[in-house]
Structure 1
Amino acid sequence: MKGGDYMSEQLPMKADAYMDVMKTQFNDSPDLIQKVFHIKGQAIIVHFISYQVKRERLERDLLENITNSQKRWTNEGLINKIPLSSTEKQSSLEQITTKLIHGSVAVYIEGEKEAVLFALPQQDHRSLNRAETESLVFGPQVSFTESLITNLNVVRWRLDTDDLVVEKLIVGERIQSEVRIVYLKSLANDENVETMRQRIKDLKVAEVEDTSVLGQLIEDSTSSVFPQLIFTELPDRFCNSVSKGRVGVMVDKSPTMLIGPMTLFSFFESTEDLYMRWNMGSFIRLLRFLAMALSIVLTPMYVAALTFHYEIIPSTLLVSLGQSRSTVPFPPVIEALLLEVLIELLREAGARLPTKVGQTMGIVGGIVLGQAAVKAGFTSNILIIIIALSALASFTAPSYLMGTAVRIIRFPMIILAGAWGLIGIVFALSFLIIHLLKQKSLGRPYLAPIYPFQWKDFNDSIFRLPFKKNNYRPLNVMPKDTERYSKAKASERKDVDPS
């Protein structure tokens, strides 16, 4: 809150002086409503922000009870006789102001050392709807909203246990936001919880606009293009991660939740994999890894082969490549970069335009510009196919941030491939692997279970085993209880004996 002379004022105060302090703090805003009632010689001030409180409850439960009284009021009388459950006394003018902003009604009786606050927030928010950025074919379709209370209700409904811990923190020195840390006490590693808690507490920022902003402030490496914490709008993914021993974070007014610690492979997982049969889920997960690998190296390999390594191209394909590029005035590296930029422009335009217009723009724009570029001699047919395959492969990542990171990586790899051929690609891949080995998420290895090697965690990262064999929680998050259930008992068959 902004400081001023009112900070030196203390209750009790005269009614007029108290009202002047509040008007000054709110910069004479017309939204601050202050009503003065004189009852039995008492001056009682009721003040609130007009659009922040439920007016019908204010008038029915609070104002009617105060004005209909035939006795002198005290703070204790207000708390005991007003039929509202969420009440508190507050002597700090700064805290009173903060509570008013968050939807409380303050009642100050002249001469008292404290004001009584009644929480009557008017919470306007959208209802639970279908997820937009993380669409699923199987499984729950509901997504989080901007209301922290609604999101907490959804999480508690899915994690129906008294083992669930929800800690409250306040972040922001000028504009404060409520943050909740969510974890299971019997599973979450204490070091992970303390790391998350301490990083949030240590933040010295004016405000935190969204969960994604908070994630960038607390992640291990802010210079890396790779996200180290997962952001999700799906309650089932959030609760599934918490039930594995991870730590979740919720921010008021944000529809996105944060989960950590995570690994690189976690960004290619989807809760949809759990809802499918295990062999289907494993196939699709492995397909995503293959798609990401192709997306990174396919275009650089084309550039390297046409620039330095003609000998690796089959002779029949080399002839068609030569014919296709006979009218192209640019070297392969410039040609590839131009098309990559074109694809990114189409993707960004399609994302920003309204849904129906954006889909039309992406399809028609891609076809028209692609055909025009080939006929004008700016590019070859084969490169258009390769660029389209690379773009499609990057879209298979369930995480939007990871898909964007993969698309960004392609640009320096294309440049290095154009400069040094296969040597440039090997150098780029080596640098990429070293970079990933150095990354951490809440202090945990980012490349687990590959490094450090942990075979049991392959089920929760590389592929998915049948549920009967999936009896361990991810060891890389160091849960207190690693075993989900007895593997021997889960494998027992108890069919009804027909005899």
Structure 2
Amino acid sequence: MRRKKSTKTTTQTSSSFPCTIEEFKETIKTALHHNPDLHLQDFTIANRRVLITYFTYQINKDQLNSMILRTLLNSQKPWDHNRIMNEIPIGTGENQSDSNKIAEILCKGHCCLYVEGDEEAVTFLIPELKSRQVGAAENESLVFGPQIAFNESLVTNLNIVRWGIDSPDLKMEKLTVGKMISTEVRVIYLDNLANKENVNTIRQRIEDLEVDDAMDANVLGQLIEDKSSSIFPQLLTTELPDRFLYAIKKGKVGIMVDKSPNVLIGPTSLFSFFESTEDIYMRWNMGTFIRILRLFAMMISITLTPAYVAALTYHYEVVPSSLLVSLGKSRANVPFPPVLEALLLELLIELLREAGARLPTKVGQTMGIVGGVVIGQAAVKAGFTSNILIIVIALSALASFTAPSYLMGTAIRVIRFPMILLSGLWGLLGIMYGLSFLIIHLLKLTSLGRPFLVPLYPLTLVDLRSSIFRLPWPWASRRPYSNEPQEIKRFSRAKALEKKDIDE
């Protein structure tokens, strides 16, 4: 959370240049609390002492030996910071005159060269980057489209984005978050397309943060979103480069955080969480059907179990008589009221899901299947629940898993619990109370100051074709108005609809 500025607990020791090698060593050691991994070695070249210092496990040893040490030791002329900058063949060199700054960047993969008696030191960024290879997405699987996913390396992720959008208009603004542990953040957008107000809002909120560190993109999203107390995420999180690039091309703004495999997209709407780039790769009618199916599944997941509880508690008259007999037989030996029975089963499903997610992959899959079947059958035979409720709970759980966004699917599952309680207290009237409160909350919610329910509120009929529906490509000649991009037109629809034979 945001908090007032506090004084750092690290020791602030400042050295004045020029100084001796011994003085510089003591200053750096004190600033880094005498870290045992700090390497300090000095050489005498042309009667002048040169000190090199770095963390042994954070720099690339090949670059250090071949580009820095070899160049230094093969020269018989005296060195100074100007000659180091001009003759050592690394383009990441920077002159430094503050020992505290030097100590800070040594922790980020820099090495430092200081010539005794010189007015400035020189630092080079030569990090030893350790990250997993680019692979398939684990949380957002696709049938069609690119199968690669972002990883924890910011350099790799930026390369993927630049490879996907090789345009000079692509801007990647560099920001830093964290008072105690600074983390690099990139704000990414198309300069000729993204709305400047959205860009300025994101930049201002990130720059105004006063936190110790930003651990992950999801944490940063909670810090800068409009209403962090809401159960609904207001910034879209994804690990898929194609989804990220597609959003950037629509005029949205992306956020990358170093050491995080997830990226943020904003502004976003509720319907964006039920879209997938797979809908774009499919035929338009298939994509439209699947999008509508996901939205329908969301309503089923929220209301099906509460409707069952309300019907059996207060409204037997809404149940067909033929089904009422089956319900009576199924619940004949159940000692609990419907609301408690439903809550117990919902809790059981969540326990199985969480256990399966935390166990190793092969064991987790077996646990989910075997645990669901065995416990479900045992619960029915023991008279703790009915067969029909197990079917209802299973349908609700399956419906919540259709959301492409894991965060949105989790939010839907959590919403079911208060809805079940309201239906148990007041029946269908309680469900209406719950849905009304939910709609009012969504109407008040915003994403970077933009309405969260767009294009339904405010009503923008032309944007329905790109959110709820997926029209054929020739009809998708304009970008969504709700993003307020600088350029609405994608291409000429008249030329896209024009058909020509090869001899024309």
Q: Does 1:6 align with 2:10?
A: no
**Is the 2:12–2:100 Cα contact (8 Å) retained in structure 1?**
no
Q: Which amino acid aligns with 1:214?
A: L
1:26 is aligned to: 32
Q: Which shifted more, 29-38 or 175-184?
A: 29-38
- The residue correspondences of 1:75-474 to structure 2 (distance < 5 A) are 75-474=81-480
Secondary structure of 1:6's aligned partner: coil
Q: Which amino acid aligns with 1:305?
A: A
> Aligned partners of 1:497, 1:85: CA distance in 2, in Å?
54
Q: Which amino acid aligns with 1:453?
A: L
Q: Cα deviations across residues 388-442 of structure 1 (Å, max 9, x unaligned)?
A: 0000000000000000000011000000000000000001000100000000000
Give the alignment's TM-score, normalised by structure 2.
Answer: 0.97
Give the deviation of 1:3 after TM superposition: 4.0
1:490 is aligned to: 496
**Is the 2:96–2:120 Cα contact (8 Å) retained in structure 1?**
yes
Q: 1:405 to 1:3 in 2, by over 3 A?
A: same
Q: Cα deviations across residues 237-268 of structure 1 (Å, max 9, x unaligned)?
A: 00000000000001111110000000000000
Q: Cα deviations across residues 104-150 of structure 1 (Å, max 9, x unaligned)?
A: 11001111121011121111111110000000000000000111111
Q: Which amino acid aligns with 1:426?
A: M
> Aligned partners of 2:130, 2:10: CA distance in 1, in Å?
29
Structure 2 residue corresponding to 1:51, chosen from 36, 51, 57: 57
Unaligned runs of 5+ in 2: 1-7
> Aligned partners of 2:465, 2:119: CA distance in 1, in Å?
62
> Aligned partners of 2:12, 2:242: CA distance in 1, in Å?
49
> Aligned partners of 1:74, 1:278: CA distance in 2, in Å?
65
**Is the 2:255–2:263 Cα contact (8 Å) retained in structure 1?**
yes
Q: Which amino acid aligns with 1:124?
A: K
Give the deviation of 1:68 after TM superposition: 2.4
Secondary structure of 2:13's aligned partner: helix
Secondary structure of 1:44's aligned partner: strand
Give the deviation of 1:38 after TM superposition: 1.9
Q: Cα deviations across residues 425-472 of structure 1 (Å, max 9, x unaligned)?
A: 001000100000000000000000001000111012111000000111
> Aligned partners of 2:228, 2:149: CA distance in 1, in Å?
28
Secondary structure of 1:51's aligned partner: coil
> Aligned partners of 2:11, 2:109: CA distance in 1, in Å?
22
> Aligned partners of 2:34, 2:312: CA distance in 1, in Å?
70
Give the deviation of 1:371 after TM superposition: 0.2
Secondary structure of 2:95's aligned partner: strand
Q: Does 1:60 align with 2:79?
A: no
Q: Which amino acid aligns with 1:6?
A: T
> Aligned partners of 2:456, 2:87: CA distance in 1, in Å?
64
Q: Which amino acid aligns with 1:292?
A: M
**Is the 2:195–2:251 Cα contact (8 Å) retained in structure 1?**
yes
Q: Which amino acid aligns with 2:299?
A: A
CA RMSD in angstroms, aligned pairs only: 1.0
Q: Which amino acid aligns with 1:366?
A: G
**Is the 2:423–2:430 Cα contact (8 Å) retained in structure 1?**
yes
Give the alignment's TM-score, normalised by structure 1.
Answer: 0.98
2:3 is aligned to: none
